[in-house]
Structures are given as C-alpha cells and as structure tokens.
Amino acid sequence: MSDWIDICALGEIEEEDVHRFEHGGAVYLAARDDCDGVFVVDGLCTHEKVELANGFVFGCVLECPRHQGRFDLRDGRPCGGPVTEGLKTYPTRVQAGRVQVQLIA
Amino acid sequence: MIKWKNYALRAERDPRIENAIDGIGWYTSPIPRKRLKELVRRDNGRAARHFLLWLALLVASGAVAYATWPTLWAIPAFLVYGVIYNSADSKWHELSHGTPFRSHWVNESLYRLVSLMTFREPIRWRWSHSRHHTHTILVGHDPEIASPRPPHIALALLGLWYLRGALGEVRTTSAVVRGRIPADVASFVPESQWPEMVYWSRIFVAFIAAIVLACVIAGSILPAMFVGLPRLYGSFLHYTQAFTQHAGLDEDILDHRLSSRTVLMNPVFRFLYTNMNYHIEHHMFPMVPFYNLPELHAEIQSDCPAPYAGLGATYTEIFTTLWRQRLDPTYYARRVLPETAGASGDQRVMDPDFRKVA
C-alpha cells in the first residue's frame, strides 16, 4: 500500500467544487460534494481528455465543462452525457483538516 | 459547382488538429470562477416554469387547431401550433447538454420526449452534438456544419421545411435500424453505443408507424398534423433562428467569437429558441443553463464582437456572404473583436489537405 500524499487544506476546496493538482506528471482533482464528502479522481475526462478542473460539482456528480459528461464522484462511474468509461478514483481521507490521497499505481 | 474543401467527415481524426486543440485550446473569455459557478447553477424551478409554459402553449394552440379543423382557420392555427412544436428542437439541444434541471433524471426524461417530437434519435444526436462542441466548424471533423462552402442555397432553403434534415434522417435511420452503421456516424458514435443507437432507431420507426396507423384508423391526416408533420410545416422559424449560429462565418479556427454568432432577439423569439441566440456564450461555456445565458452575455460582452441587432441585420450579412461564397468560397464574414478583447492568438487550425481549389 502506498503512502498517503498530502494535497491541500480542506478549506481550500469549496463545497461542490474541485481542486486541481499534479503528481508524477499526471493530473488529478480533489473534489467536494454537497455533503462534505471529499474525493480524488483523475483530472482528465475519459471522453475527450478535457481538463475536468474547469468543470463543476453538482451534488456528488462531477461534470465535464466541454461536453457535460457526468461522473459519480463516489465510484467514478459515468452517469450521463457522452461518456462510456468511468473515472479512476483514489482512496481519500481528511486528516487534521488536510486532504490526503493514496495514488495507487 | 466549385469544389474547395472536403466537408465529409474523416474516418480518423487529424492529429494536427487534435494537437492544436490540446495545445492552443479553444479561446475562453476571462471570467472569475466564482461568478462562473453562480452561472452554471441549475435551478429546477426556473427550468420547470419554462418547460411547463411551453407545454401549456403547445396544448392550448393544439386545442385551437383541433377546434378549427377542417376550416381555413386551421391554417394559421396549425402554423402557430407548428412553430411552438418546433421549439422542441432548441429544448432538445438544452436537454442534450443536461443543463436546464438540477435533477438529471428530469433532463433525461424530457430529452427522450423531445427527441421523439423532433425525430432526433437520442444516442446518435447526442454524440453528434458532442463532436460539434469538440470540433466546432472544423472542416472534416464537425458533423453539424450547416453551411459548407460554396453554399448550396436551394438546399439551405429546403431547411425551412426540414426537408433537408428529414432526407438525411431517412437515409441514416433506414441503415441503422438494419444494424448497418454509416461511416460518418461510425466516426463519432463509439462502437459500444451502437446497440443502443439501433434500439432507439427501431423505436423511432415504430413511433412513425404508430402515427401512420393512427391516421389510417382515424381516416384522417389529423393525428399526423399534431405529431410528426409539424416538424415539416412549422420548422421555418426555428430554422431561421438556428441557421444564424455559424453560417457565413470563419471556419477552422479555435475561437467561437469568430465562428459563431450572438444575435439579440425579442423575448418571444428567445423563449421559443430557448436563448440559443446567445450562441458564442453557449459554445464558450456550454455548462451554463439557457436561462443564465443573458447574464453570461453581459459578463463577457466586452471580450466579444458586438452582437447582431436582430434577425434582419443577421440575414443581411448571411445573404450577401453566401451569395458571394457561391463564386468565392474563400470569402467569409469577418467578426471584429473590440479593442479591449483578449487576443485569440494563433487559433487557426490550418489543414492544407482541405484547402485545395479545383
């Protein structure tokens, strides 16, 4: 099991919004839903590789800014719009007000 | 006929264009994320009011049309009904983006309903429109270029009665229902979606058969006058509005301000057209629901070309541009950005293969 990686303070992510970060040359998003859930997912849409950091969260759904492909943040599954492939999700926790993730290869 | 570019969809994407989109990217007007977050918010109440009013108008105008049938008064009555019916096309567009209602299931349910009303098979058209947003007016990649150069003006006029679209639908659907996916469709609908596309195409054929059967049983064309035929006799206003979106403007450029139009319209037209007259804004920020587009327009106006004053001003430009393009396909209406606007830089996607003049 890989180590927990510190991403940002929880307060840096607004409710129903995202925080973009890079690690090891890849783009990721830390996202907050409307019920204080925090999730880390891949940062590019599986449809056209569009940066999801320009998208927004509605409830627990992350929406792609270009084509409105929708992903459930809880498990990454596609739930609307022109996407067929799910978004990879990563184990995430909030420890002492910090968002942390395990980026398992 | 002058042959200039090949507007047929390419089976494979051009890596030069993909690299340009990934590298340069589509121009986006600056707007604070906090403000954009306000504008992308979906509101079930606002969307419901709009759609309920539309459905109420549809029922009311339909009742008047029914009451007047078969007198001569039925002609204007059905024209009004047909215009309101064809507002479904712009509502189809909004629902395909999934933006009007916060409740996604409502968007999806209504999407299926208006897809039937407009004969837009929901799977194929969703993917087609996604590609239109990825490759807006990029020749050989955008499946929804309404006015290729040089323009075929007679064909464009057939669109007033949806005849051009209907012929395309008959051709494509008759192949898809047999499980044969045309090459152009295969270029933008992923193979994993083909079974569902075939399934929905068959539902559409059954739907049309049901309309015909209803007419046979009733011994009258009246059922089709309410469902199906309005797409033909009532599409003229919607087509007139929608043709303004890109016709006669620049192409192969990653800047919607130069390849799309925003046209100011009166509140009735905006209601019927579901605010798609704010077309630059829609393309730049497609997450924004239709009812917030006027606010988005005000927000980024200083970064965009001046909007057209109305359909009259717009068609003055479109007619003169298309007429000239008949002989000179290199000509297009150049949009002027305000001095305060952000420079689009080198957003042009040049593809020499498409620039051959025969």
Closest CA to B40 of B102, B95, B82: B102
Q: Give the one of B22, B104, B126 whose C-beta lies nearest to A82's C-beta.
A: B126
Query: Does the beta carbon of A33 lie under 8 angstroms from any beta carbon of chain B?
Result: no
> Would you call B127 and A63 a contact, using CB atoms and an 8 Å cutoff?
no
Residue B50 — left, alpha, or beta (φ > 0 → left; ψ -120 to 50 → alpha)? alpha
According to the model, what pLDDT value does residue B1 have? 55
Give chain B positions within 8 Å (CB) of A55: 287
For strands A61-63 and A26-32, give the pairing: unpaired
By CA distance, what is B18's nearest residue in A?
A: A48
Positive or negative, the Cα torsion across B27, B97, B332, B337?
negative
Size of interface A-B (CB pairs under 8 A): 47
3-state SS of chain A: helix, strand, coil percent to 5? 5, 45, 50
Quick count: other Cβ atoms within 10 Å of Cβ B39?
A: 17
> Would you call A61 and B99 a contact, using CB atoms and an 8 Å cutoff?
no
According to the model, what pLDDT value does residue B230 have? 98
Positive or negative, the Cα torsion across B276, B278, B279, B282?
negative
Q: Give the one of B108, B126, B134 whose C-beta lies nearest to A48's C-beta.
A: B134
Closest CA to B295 of B93, B37, B104, B26: B37
pTM of the model: 0.94
CA B310 to chain centre: 18
According to the model, what pLDDT value does residue B350 have? 57
Closest CA to B332 of B284, B276, B281, B260: B260
Give chain B positions within 8 Å (CB) of A84: 190, 192-193
> Given a cut of 50, is residue A29 above it in pLDDT?
yes
pLDDT in tens, chain B (358 residues): 556 888 999 888 888 888 888 888 899 999 999 999 999 999 999 999 999 999 999 999 999 999 999 999 999 999 999 999 999 999 999 999 999 999 999 999 999 999 999 999 999 999 999 999 999 999 999 999 999 999 999 999 999 999 989 999 999 999 999 999 999 999 999 999 999 999 999 999 999 999 999 999 999 999 999 999 999 999 999 999 999 999 999 999 999 999 999 999 999 999 999 999 999 999 999 999 999 999 999 999 999 999 999 999 999 999 999 999 999 999 999 999 998 888 766 667 755 444 433 3
What's the complex ipTM? 0.92
According to the model, what pLDDT value does residue B24 have? 81
Give chain B positions within 8 Å (CB) of A12: none
According to the model, what pLDDT value does residue B291 have? 98
> Rounded CA gap, B228 and B82, in Å?
10
According to the model, what pLDDT value does residue B11 have? 85
A48, A54, A60, A67: best to mutate for the B interface, most B CBs within 10 A: A67
> Given a cut of 90, is residue A81 above it in pLDDT?
no
Residue B144: helix, strand or coil by DSSP?
coil
Give chain B positions within 8 Å (CB) of A66: 133-134, 286
Query: Does the beta carbon of A55 lie under 8 angstroms from any beta carbon of chain B?
Result: yes
> Rounded CA gap, B12 and B170, in Å?
25
The token duo for B234 is 């009532």
Q: Give yes or no for a contact between A28 and A73, defined as CB atoms under 8 angstroms apart.
A: no
Domain A5-101 has CATH 1.10.3720.10: no
Please report, for residues B19, B28, B92, the alpha-carbon distance to residue B121 in angstroms, rounded to integers and kept in the order given: 31, 31, 11
Q: Give yes or no for a contact between A88 and A76, defined as CB atoms under 8 angstroms apart.
A: yes
Provide the shortest C-alpha distance from residue A100 to chain B (in Å): 24
B299 — phi, psi (to 5°)?
Answer: -70, -40
Q: Where are the domains of chain A?
A: 5-101
For strands A89-90 and A92-95, give the pairing: unpaired
Residue B278: helix, strand or coil by DSSP?
strand
